[in-house]
Every structure is written in C-alpha cells, then in structure tokens.
Chains A and B, each alone.
Chain A
Amino acid sequence: MNPKAFIVPCSGIGKAYGSVARESAFCVTEDLRPETSRIMPLSLLVLGEEETREALARTPVIAVDGCKLSCAAKVAAEMGGEVRHALQVLDTFRRHPEWKPEGISELNEAGHQLARALGEEVALLVDEIKDEVKNG
C-alpha cells in the first residue's frame, strides 16, 4: 500500500461548515489525491486506541475544521499526531464569499463549490508532505 497522508475532517453534525469540511476531505481522498491521502475518522481518533496512535505517530496530519472549536486539530494533537496544517472552512469562505454553504444533511451547490476549493488547497498540502508519510 502506498503511504497516505491523513486528512482529519471535522465530524460536522451541527453546521453546514462541518459538512463542507467533510465533503472537502472526500474531494481530496477520492477525486484529487486518492493515491496519496486518506481520511482518518475523527470518531476513531476520539477513542485513541493504540493502533490509531501508532499510525498517527508516523504520519503528519492535515486537519480541516468547520468552526473555531477546532475539534479535528485538537483531537489529532491530543492523540499524539503532528498537525502540520490546520485549516478552517471559514478562511476559505472568506476568500470565496460568493459560495455560502447551506444544508447539513445535503449541501447546496455553493457548499459543494466551497468544498471543492478547500479540497484543492488541501491537495497542495498533501503534495508538500507526501515524502514524510511513513505509513505505507
């Protein structure tokens, strides 16, 4: 298996920005960089099991959060991960105010466009760190 960078998205059950974080992670791992990235589910990180911690110790993390509480970045760090990049959906939204995300269960078209833009930012960061990933 190829080494893959970990993308940790916010779990996003309460706000549209969380859904954008989640969708952006799918954009990276399924569309843009399927060979060099994978999602590390935040729920699994919360449990902090040994196997998960070991995987985190070998792999820089890109956290994508939906709000300032920064659950993804905080939990990844708490579990021993090195959070190389901590991104916020709101920062991408400020650059693209024309794409206002709405909907949690189902994002509107603007939300999908915002997720795609954020995914493209994350994909470039995956390229930056791919030589440091040791989990293959």
Chain B
Amino acid sequence: MADLPPKKVGLISCSGEEMPEGTISRLAVRKVMETMQKGKTATICLPLFLAGGEGDRAFARAYPTIAIDGCEKRCAARGTERYSGKPAAGIVVSALSPHAREELGTARRLSACGRDMVMATATAMSQLVDRLLESSHETENRPRENSEMAAAGISGMNQEEK
C-alpha cells in the first residue's frame, strides 16, 4: 500500500503588532504547532501570499486552514481568502476573550491574563484542528456550522460571511 502524506491543517495568524490580541493569536499558533498538535499542523506567514511564489499562494488550497485573528478587521482571514483560498474556519481573539483589552497587557508583553488567553485560544484552535482532521476522512470535507462557536469568536468552517 502506498504511503500517503499525512493530513495537516494550516494555521494562519495575524501579525498583531498593534494590540495584545494579535500577540495572543501568534503565540497560540506556536503553542498548537509545537505541543498540542505537533506534526498535524503547518503555518505560513500571511505576507508570503504576496511576497512569495505560487507555491506559497497555494497554501490554503493544499491545506484546510484556520485563520487566527486578533480583532474584527480579520486581516488573516480576509488576506488568506483573497490571495490563497477561503479558510475552513476562523478564530477572532477579541470576540473569544471575556477580558477588556487593558487586562491582556500589551502587544509586546502580555499580562498573566493575556497568557491565559493564549492557552484558551490554543485550546479552541486545537479543537478545530481535530474537527478538520476528522472531517477530512468524510466525503464532504468541510465540517458543519456551529452557531454556538461562532458566537464565541470561533467561526465554523463553511459558514457564509455575515
């Protein structure tokens, strides 16, 4: 039997230099990649869609992707859709977080509360990775809409843009 390449989920983070939620996005992606879903995820820097080659732009066509954004501008989700392919799911940290921005620290240095949000964001992302990997075994490889998750800042998979 032929060895097939392992299924992976692509994670694309906002760069987040303007607000703590952006740093939370970025650190949560690293946590998922390095510990929670090691070997099952891949990432790419968002600007590579513009600065890189066709191989980079094909990223979201090669992998089901999760866009992790710090705020409602959703640069990662919109940039990915524009230059590569529509993300299968998305997380917006500012919608997921129950905390006021000031409680999270700064983009450069997160507070303890901000670091807790890294863990919460990573956990939500890891659950999405599991669902996407499960769904890749089904004939329809886009998981179902989950309005409860959407309300909590996690957009499920094949939802229409609101």
Contacts and interface: CB of A to CB of B under 8 A. Distances in A.
Interface of A: 9-14, 18, 22-23, 25-26, 30, 39, 41-47, 69-72, 74-75, 78, 104-105
21 contacts: A10-B47, A12-B15, A13-B26, A13-B45, A14-B45, A30-B108, A39-B18, A41-B17, A42-B15, A42-B17, A43-B46, A43-B47, A44-B18, A47-B78, A69-B52, A71-B45, A71-B47, A71-B52, A74-B47, A74-B51, A105-B34
B16 to A, nearest CB: 7
A114 to B, nearest CB: 16
Given A13-B15, A41-B75, A104-B30, 8 more contacts: A14-B43, A18-B45, A41-B16, A41-B22, A44-B18, A46-B47, A69-B48, A71-B50
B13 A13 contact: yes
Interface in B1-46: 13-18, 22, 26-27, 29-31, 34, 43-46
Interface in B29-79: 29-31, 34, 43-52, 73, 75-76, 78-79
Contacts of B22: 41, 43
Contacts of B75: 41, 43-44, 46-47
Given A13-B43, A75-B51, A105 B30 contact: yes
B63 to A, nearest CB: 15
Interface of B: 13-18, 22, 26-27, 29-31, 34, 43-52, 73, 75-76, 78-79, 82-83, 107-108
A22 B106 CA distance: 14
Contacts of A72: 47
Contacts of A41: 14-18, 22, 75
A105 B31 contact: yes
A43 B29 contact: no
Contact of A25 (B17, B26, B79): B17
A46 B44 CA distance: 14
Nearest to B30: A105
A75 B45 contact: no
A71 B48 contact: yes
A11 B47 contact: yes
